[in-house]
Amino acid sequence: MNFRVSYLASTLFITLLLGACSSTPTQQVSPTETIVNQSEDAATEARFSQNLNQLIAQIAQAQGIPQASLESGFSDAKTIPSIRKLVLPPSGTFKKNWVAYRKRFIEPVRLKAGKAFWEQNQAYLTKVEQESGVPAEIIVSIIGIETIYGRQTGNFRVKDVLSTLAFSYPDTPNKASREQLFKDQLKELILMCWTEGGGSLPANNSKQGLNQTRFNACLNQNSSYAGAIGLPQFMPSSIRSFAVDGDGDGHIDLKQSPKDAIASVANFMRKHGWQPGMPIYFPVQEGAISEARALADGEPQLKYSVQELIAKGILTKEQGDLQSGGVEPQSKALIVDLPYPDKDGNDQVRYVVGLNNFLTIVQYNRSYFYAQSVAEFAEALGYKNQSVVPAAPTKAKPEVKSGEAVKSKPKKTASKKKPKQT
């Protein structure tokens, strides 16, 4: 997550509540950095301990959890000053660069790993796609962009991360709201680990069924520098709300179980409104760039009907026709702007029309860059998004059937699938 280019910078950390927050390679630190107290001074550490103990007491009282059990799990909690630097926004001179972002994630290493992950989990991906309506390519794409299929899941203890950001967030204009966000995530972590350890909620002042060792291990598991966990980089709140026991072993393990990760991503996307068989985005017509620019306000809202965009020349009639691989004319859309500097340093922007499924991906990570990368990574794996509807009106190619795009995604039955690369 050391190169996060969030297009919606003002809402960067809201994504932490929604799903994956480590859409980039995790910062590498020395193993001791996660366990050694690195507080700048004793006063800082004292405030940290006091605030943490207060939160623990509040949770214990609200849920009827024996406070001693929680205190035991957090007895060695530490602040990590380096994390405070990692969550700071880019400097004022930083330029958003869609081209660089895309190149970072849609590249040979991830694509090769994506094909291997698909082949290894083909049968289960097919099953999940059939049940959820979320294409296998989208699931594979998300996990690949997040962690390269588990290669980069983070090496910070999650309780240290969330405690640091909850009680020692850097001095920024939104410090109060960010600290509250991470306090909420810390609460979710405690409740998640309590049930993972065998405890019940509300506990009713009993720790019956609790395995303290397992509870502590859950608190001590590794995460990204923002507290995201496992192959799909779910925050604790998303684990509690959307994670699924895909392999049926009675436990949700997003770190070691590909089936749990696959099922959880699909469940997240389904519950956030994924529409099976529908496109993710459409290209903007070359002659309508100025019209698209006028409608691009950066707000992740489906404001315009496809019919309106057709009338403005931004889309073609075919794109508002289900039989041509488009969507219904009354379907809602937004204009997505993807800025980048050209080779001379001049500001340029690529525009696309984001549809419902584009916005669903945005719910996973609130970044236009991220959502477009997921879509194009999936296309590199063979996903048919909007290719049946050309960017400019042309005669249909003989090999493309007019109704192809409205069909559900074809199943992959071959044992040696060779997805296309871009």
pLDDT at 359 over 70: yes
- C-alpha to C-alpha distance for 110 and 99, rounded to whole angstroms: 17
Domain ranges of the chain: 9-97+150-271
- pLDDT attached to residue 389: 54
- pLDDT attached to residue 384: 84
How many beta carbons lie within 10 A of that of residue 389, not counting itself? 23
For the stretch 202-252, pLDDT in tens is: 999 999 999 999 999 999 999 999 999 999 999 999 999 999 999 999 999
Strand partners, 390: none
* Cβ–Cβ under 8 Å, residues 106 and 422: yes
Q: Can you say whether the dihedral through the CA atoms of 180, 181, 186, 189 is positive or negative?
A: positive
Burial 231-241 (b: 16+ CB within 10 A, else e): bbbbbbbbbeb
Pick the CATH number of 9-97+150-271 from 3.40.50.620, 3.90.1860.10, 1.10.8.350, 3.20.20.20: 1.10.8.350
Q: Half-sphere exposure (CA, 13 Å, Cβ side) for 46?
A: 3
pLDDT at 162 over 80: yes
Q: What is the mean pLDDT of residues 249-274?
A: 97
Select the more confidently predicted residue: 155 or 33: 155
- pLDDT attached to residue 325: 84
- C-alpha to C-alpha distance for 215 and 207, rounded to whole angstroms: 11
Query: 139 CB contacts (<8 Å, ≥6 apart)?
Result: 125, 128, 129, 262, 265, 266, 269
121 DSSP assignment? T
